[in-house]
Amino acid sequence: MKKILLLTALLAMAISCTKDKAPKTLVLYYSETGNTRVVAEALQQKLGADIEEILPVVPYTGDFQATIERGRKEMEENKFPELQPLKSDIASYDIIFLGFPVWFGTYANPVETLLRSADFAGKKIVPFCTFGSGGLDSSIKAIREKSPKAVVLPGYGVRAARLDAVPVEVERFLVSEGYVEGTYEKPADFPAPHPASEEEAAIFDAAVNGYPMLHAKAEEVAVRALPDGTEYLFTARDLPREMPKDVPGDLPPQSRAMKVYVLVANGQAPVFTQVVR
């Protein structure tokens, strides 16, 4: 009887240890200009995770126009960049935080090579990205299509123009999703939208002013309070414009509707945080 009790206790301890074992996490990212690296390093520091950079055999130059031309050609020919071998063994990790800049509305081309060549079956993938105006949602959708045997979880994205917000936002994201402990005050859901007033339209205009890819008129808005300011969710519509020659992507159809998130932090000027088309 004593032996049975001892074996039962040992088995219970083993099960408890297995349940309490923290998942092994890797921050794996591609960064051409260093913007995505900022987010990756913030995640790694908060998570205490391993980290590795995805490196093409032939690096991109960092020149905007050269990257557009090379990227377009790779996509048209379906020939994506060869990567240097990873030092990390993906099979040994439970959660992969996968980072990239957004190119042409989705993840950068080196990540396409990775998703085609690596086995993410059974892994949890947490996407994170940097972008000019948006692309997190479309990138998550593309990753799910490319890696159907993985569990692709909600991710984090930030405009390259807002990298100073990364430390606070990354911590908030990790706490809200349960990756690290901390206090998180979940904001209320946006209420039903209403027609944008002149004052609200002026906030929209101030937030998007000077960004060449966004020339639109605010039509409706929903507003919610945040602990450190106010967030606006605008429904806007494209206005006629000429696409700059050095901007990737085709001109969106005129009168196309979009969602634009605008943040007015306490004492700060309005900034837009992302566009969802």
pLDDT digits (tens, 9 = 90+) for 94-111: 999 999 999 999 999 999
Residue % of the chain over a pLDDT of 90: 80
DSSP-assigned beta bridge partners for residue 237 = 217, 257
Domain with CATH 3.40.50.360 in the chain: 23-176
Q: Among residues 27, 34, 75, 33, which one has the least CA distance to residue 51?
A: 27
Q: Among residues 128, 73, 78, which one has the least CA distance to residue 101?
A: 128
**Residue predicted with more confidence, 20 or 46:** 46
Q: How confident is the model at residue 16 (pLDDT cuts 50, 70, 90)?
A: very low
For residues 39 and 156, the answer to whether their CB atoms sit within 8 Å is yes
The answer, yes or no, to whether residue 158 has pLDDT greater than 80, is: yes
- Determine the angle formed by the axes of helices 64-77 and 109-117, rounding to 10 degrees: 40
Q: How confident is the model at residue 11 (pLDDT cuts 50, 70, 90)?
A: very low
Q: How confident is the model at residue 208 (pLDDT cuts 50, 70, 90)?
A: very high
The answer, yes or no, to whether residue 239 has pLDDT greater than 60, is: yes
CA distance 245 to 19: 55
Architecture of domain 23-176: 3-Layer(aba) Sandwich (3.40)
DSSP secondary structure, 2-30, as one string:
HHHHHHHHHHHHHHHHHHHPPPPEEEEE-
The answer, yes or no, to whether residue 17 has pLDDT greater than 50, is: no
Q: Which amino acid is at 230?
A: T
Q: Among residues 167, 171, 193, which one has the least CA distance to residue 182?
A: 171
Q: What is the pTM of this model?
A: 0.87
Tokens 């700060």 belong to 268
Q: Among residues 163, 29, 25, 214, which one has the least CA distance to residue 107?
A: 29
CA distance 32 to 53: 10
